[in-house]
Amino acid sequence: MALELRDRDTGVYDAYKAKPYPPHNPEAKARPIPLSPCNCCAAHKKAICASLDGTELHRFRKLSQVRLVKAGQSIYRELDPANYLYTVVSGEARLSSLLNDGRRQVTDFRACGDKLGEHIQGYYSANAEAITDMIVCQIPLPELQARMSEMPGLRVSLMEKMETEINQMRSHLMLLGRKTPIEKVATFLVERAKKFESATAENTDIGLSMSRRDIADYLGLTIETVSRTLTALKTKGVVSIPSPDQISVLDMMELKYLAGIE
Amino acid sequence: MALELRDRDTGVYDAYKAKPYPPHNPEAKARPIPLSPCNCCAAHKKAICASLDGTELHRFRKLSQVRLVKAGQSIYRELDPANYLYTVVSGEARLSSLLNDGRRQVTDFRACGDKLGEHIQGYYSANAEAITDMIVCQIPLPELQARMSEMPGLRVSLMEKMETEINQMRSHLMLLGRKTPIEKVATFLVERAKKFESATAENTDIGLSMSRRDIADYLGLTIETVSRTLTALKTKGVVSIPSPDQISVLDMMELKYLAGIE
DNA sequence: CGCCCAGTTGATTGAGATCAAGAGGGGTGG
DNA sequence: CCACCCCTCTTGATCTCAATCAACTGGGCG
């Protein structure tokens, strides 16, 4: 019968065992940075602290710490005690979960203004790793709780972030469950172009800070399929690929069509 | 080349076109029910209103309406203006999204005490349909907003619901992106057993209110694969299937193992 | 200079989708 | 009450596309 209850120890996913993801390195994970005011922070306007002003912001700033995380380092791991809520100031992070045998699902990429630190019952519910050098701003969770009681706006803006997150996850579920590889890759490129379009004036160049493996694990594909699909898009004249981490969209309409615009 | 940019109009998903999902029926969608106190509501302890007491609860009750929705009817549709937040009192609902060509992703099933009504910028972000006869409690969103400002506990418990939701969605992403059909079905059964175990004393009977198509669209599979996988589990002696909507778990340890306990 | 690793490309395989047919069960109407 | 239909679920046969296996390329770095 085609559909057997295959033993999961038979090495189906040997590729993952052969090349494990880099180990956790808690000591080296973060470097403190001197205090500087929030209102000149690159992430301030997009982050939860945007809802604060004047003295509130100042008090909030004193509770938080800015840290540098180098590319490849872990910010926190699944099942670590959750001590902080993080805001990405610069750089990009990858959120992921693992199965016992090493299969990985990347659940999101987080950039400037995004938060990090989803947790459940006091423990982080995913792995967060820097995929570029990063600056993050961390605030201890107990302090945040206290601040939220005093400043309802803080809780409101955190809730809004969560609503956005839920809606993004919903389309990600659709992507993983029902889209074809071409639709997946096209959707990924369109979303990425959208996320960063405000930054770069009018060009549709997309920077990929993450590896093909990261993209594959985000889209529920293999690296080979991601690579082949990008080549197919290039062949069709929809994109050009100056370098592996640089995609230039030549035909955004077509790309959106291929993405299956919802 | 195997990986072509296939035209999405070529009828790949004809099965969906041939049997469209039932149309929306806004008039018949809900029937008001006489007022009764919240503290005898089946969902009260699990729902967001659990954080209220005494006069607060009474005021809250007067703002909300209880309605009966028959199996198969729509509660709201994606892109409808979002007017209410719902709490499921009894029965079960299905949340889903559609692609243009009819492919469907079921994002969640909601039962007693769960909320309904995720929205973005004033519009519902998914379809909610009753899969059994249901009783739901609806509160107008503007009223809820106002109440939340006065009663912070309400906002806190709504946030907690959202956190739970995000964590469930994360494991759903892992399931859709990286799990095999057996793992998907086993996970679904384990989760379902967990969700309803408190209700039924000690037996591990699982009631399936939803069709095979619903399960397939939830797990990112076809109905055939769901059916075959259930049969495989039965053949292996892990479950018995007294009737299509009734699963009895004979070996919960094995089922959890097959689910790839995260 | 040559190693190493990420990415690409090619060949083959196999799991799950698709296509097709049969079984069971509930509801309706004669 | 039974016969028929309809619809869902199951089971079987076949096919296809993405995974797997494998080889090659090129750029960065010691």
Q: Which residues, listed in sequence order, are joined to residue B98 by a DSSP beta bridge?
A: B104
Residue A17 predicted with pLDDT over 80: no
Residue B249 near residue B256 (C-beta atoms within 8 A) = no
Q: Is B100 on the interface with A (CB under 8 A)?
A: yes
A148 plus A185 within the same structural domain: no
Closest alpha carbon to A140 in A117, A156, A160: A117
> Is residue A231 included in any domain, yes or no?
yes
Cβ of A16 near strand D (under 7 Å)? The reply is no
Residue A15 predicted with pLDDT over 50: no
* A173-185 confidence digits (pLDDT tens): 999 999 999 999 9
Closest alpha carbon to A250 in A188, A193, A211, A201: A193
- Confidence at residue A200, expressed as pLDDT on a 0 to 100 scale: 53
- Confidence at residue B1, expressed as pLDDT on a 0 to 100 scale: 38
Distance of alpha carbon B111 from its chain centroid, rounded? 7
Residue A222 CB-density burial (10 A; 0-12 exposed, 13-18 middle, 19+ buried):
middle
B28 plus B145 within the same structural domain: yes
- Confidence at residue A62, expressed as pLDDT on a 0 to 100 scale: 87
> Is residue B169 included in any domain, yes or no?
no
Is A220 within 8 Å of B262 when comparing Cβ atoms? no
> Is residue B166 included in any domain, yes or no?
no
Residue B104 near residue B96 (C-beta atoms within 8 A) = yes
* B189-221 confidence digits (pLDDT tens): 999 999 987 545 556 899 999 999 999 999 999
Closest alpha carbon to A128 in B170, B169, B108: B170
B6 plus B131 within the same structural domain: yes
Q: Which nucleotide is nearest to A15 (CA to C1')?
A: D20
Q: Which of the four pLDDT bands, split at 50, 70 and 90, describes residue A54?
A: confident
Q: What is the CATH number of the domain that holds A128?
A: 2.60.120.10
Q: Is A29 on the interface with B (CB under 8 A)?
A: no
B48 plus B93 within the same structural domain: yes
The number of beta carbons lying within 10 Å of the beta carbon of residue B235 is 13
* B34 against A243, higher pLDDT: A243
What is the Cα–Cα distance from A258 to A138, expressed in whole angstroms?
A: 39
Q: State the total domains in chain B.
A: 2
Candidate from A82-91, B11-20, B238-247 with smallest mean pLDDT: B11-20
Instruction: Tell me the average pLDDT of chain B.
Output: 87
For residue A62, give Cα distances in angstroms to A37, A138, A247: 9, 11, 40
Residue B66 near residue B32 (C-beta atoms within 8 A) = yes
pTM of the predicted structure, to 2 decimals? 0.90
Q: Which of the four pLDDT bands, split at 50, 70 and 90, describes residue B13?
A: very low
The minimal CB distance from A258 to the residues B5, B158, B260 is found for: B5
Q: Which residues, listed in sequence order, are joined to residue B139 by a DSSP beta bridge?
A: B85
Residue-number span of the structural domain to which B10 is assigned? 2-153
B127 plus B220 within the same structural domain: no
Strand C bases contacted by the protein (CB, 7 Å) = 6-12, 15-20, 26
A87 plus A206 within the same structural domain: no
Strand D bases contacted by the protein (CB, 7 Å) = 8-14, 17-22
> Is residue B172 included in any domain, yes or no?
no
Range B75-81 average pLDDT: 97
Transcribe A113-128 into DSSP letters.
Answer: T-EE--EETTEESSEE
With the CA atoms of A7, A11, A15 and A21 taken in that order, what torsion angle do they form, in degrees rounded to the nearest 10?
70
A139 plus A185 within the same structural domain: no
Q: Which of the four pLDDT bands, split at 50, 70 and 90, describes residue A197?
A: confident
B199 plus B111 within the same structural domain: no
Transcribe B120-152 into DSSP letters.
Answer: ETTEESSEEEESS-EEEEEEEHHHHHHHHHH-H
For residue B228, give Cα distances in angstroms to A91, A127, A156, B184, B235: 46, 34, 46, 13, 10
Q: Which of the four pLDDT bands, split at 50, 70 and 90, describes residue B4?
A: very low
End-to-end C-alpha distance for chain B, whole angstroms = 38
Residue A154 predicted with pLDDT over 60: yes
The minimal CB distance from A172 to the residues B120, B173, B225 is found for: B173
Residue B227 predicted with pLDDT over 70: yes
Residue B155 near residue A155 (C-beta atoms within 8 A) = yes
The number of beta carbons lying within 10 Å of the beta carbon of residue B22 is 10
A17 plus A141 within the same structural domain: yes
Q: Is B173 on the interface with A (CB under 8 A)?
A: yes
Q: Is B180 on the interface with A (CB under 8 A)?
A: yes
Tell me the residue length of chain B.
262
Range A53-58 average pLDDT: 83
Which chain A residue's Cα is nearest to B186? A5
Q: Which nucleotide is nearest to B215 (CA to C1')?
A: D9
A248 plus A130 within the same structural domain: no
> Is residue A159 included in any domain, yes or no?
no
